[in-house]
Structure 1
């Protein structure tokens, strides 16, 4: 039986925030996720963009699900992500977490929007189904990006979900990315930078520990003096 893997492309000694990157998948599929699959590779530049934007204050984790499919009521990647969140919270207790998910990964992120450890979500062309319910908590910030030429997931459904979450009280921004498809390649730089900037902006708004911040500043000054 394949197992999920939690990887850390950007590690930070004392991060002020963590971003967990969630790749896409399929409606059904019990084959293992491989690192060379397109859904996984597509998220690598997003992870790098967040690491750069975080400037040494945001750690970035990537989750590779155990299997490629959502698989109906099993919601396979959702269980994997819940376990990853427990691992992250144990490693960095009290540190705010952001989620960055594409397609099926966006669906996972929206299903976890009521988890109070999660302060910000970017959902990229999220896969939203009719039974999916809006979730939120008072400190949640959500950005939904959907390409105008997307034929894989429904922009109408993702916008409806964003509107429903906003009505509940979440801070929601919905953006239509003109002239781009589900693959997010035509305006790749925009997708990467907008996602990273949004997450860093909302995760680092409030310092969670003043002493920690001082340590980070000293560490930065030491690196620059070398």
Structure 2
């Protein structure tokens, strides 16, 4: 008997380098990929507990870096989406979950017909990157205020540009976090799971995220920026989110 296709899918895109044409190392030696494994497990567990048949899988990269105009991980993401469409059909709703370079690839690939939303963690958002492909999508970007690898200010700016282009977008700030998502790891995992399942309709969006996504295109960037500790209620669950005082 043929296996029933999933009801939805989450494609996970890990981070990488600005340049690097060699393939990523295999298995646990691929540290950016390993970093995303707890997120894969958390989202898959939440989907099972909700009784939803959601496929959660990591996208494999052919190269370690973005590599300028080549934008290699973007093409890997599109290839993975095309393969999903071939296997599961045109109506499969997909959320792209990316970290750092992977978030940049997710944002770029969001124009694919299957994509309903993007959750970007510590995203790499160069000022000149396009946003028109985000029209009609839900985009939630999560960034630490202490990130030294990618810019939270650039992330905030992109949410405003995306909103003007027709996206429903917002940003969540994780005070006291870091680019690798090691500090306050439980909060990152819990928040990400709530966002992904909420965008797929398998759960409820936390706190004021729904309100922020509904802001008009003319809203200022600061209006669509939420604080994890002050604005979001993640409710009971396996992860404890401890507020951080100050900056």
The answer for the alignment partner of 1:155 in structure 2 is: 152
Q: Which residue of 104, 115, 119 corresponds with 1:122?
A: 119
Q: Does 1:44 align with 2:37?
A: yes
For 1:23-172, what aligned pairs fall within 5 Å after superposition? 23-34=14-25, 35=27, 36-55=29-48, 56-93=52-89, 94-135=91-132, 136-138=134-136, 140-172=137-169
The answer for the alignment partner of 2:228 in structure 1 is: none
Quick check: 2:93–2:115 contact (8 Å CA) kept in 1? yes
Partner of 1:191, secondary structure, is helix
Give the paired residue count: 194
The alpha carbon displacement at 1:27 in A equals: 0.5
C-alpha distance after superposition, 1:54-93 (max 9, x if no partner): 1242111111201101111111111111111100111111
For 2:149 and 2:175, how far apart are their aligned partners in 1?
A: 16
Give the alignment's TM-score, normalised by structure 1.
0.81
Give the alignment's TM-score, normalised by structure 2.
0.75
For 2:117 and 2:46, how far apart are their aligned partners in 1?
A: 15
Quick check: 1:98–1:118 contact (8 Å CA) kept in 2? yes
For 1:13 and 1:48, how far apart are their aligned partners in 2?
A: 21
Bigger relative CO (Cα 8 Å, ≥ 6 apart): 1
C-alpha distance after superposition, 1:5-40 (max 9, x if no partner): xxxxxxx94422100000000010012112222111
For 1:116 and 1:205, how far apart are their aligned partners in 2?
A: 20
The answer for the alignment partner of 2:224 in structure 1 is: none
For 1:78 and 1:85, how far apart are their aligned partners in 2?
A: 11
Partner of 2:97, secondary structure, is strand
For 2:182 and 2:4, how far apart are their aligned partners in 1?
A: 33
The answer for the alignment partner of 1:173 in structure 2 is: 170
Unaligned runs of 5+ in 1: 1-11, 207-226
Quick check: 2:78–2:112 contact (8 Å CA) kept in 1? no
Unaligned runs of 5+ in 2: 204-247
Partner of 2:59, secondary structure, is strand
The alpha carbon displacement at 1:106 in A equals: 0.4
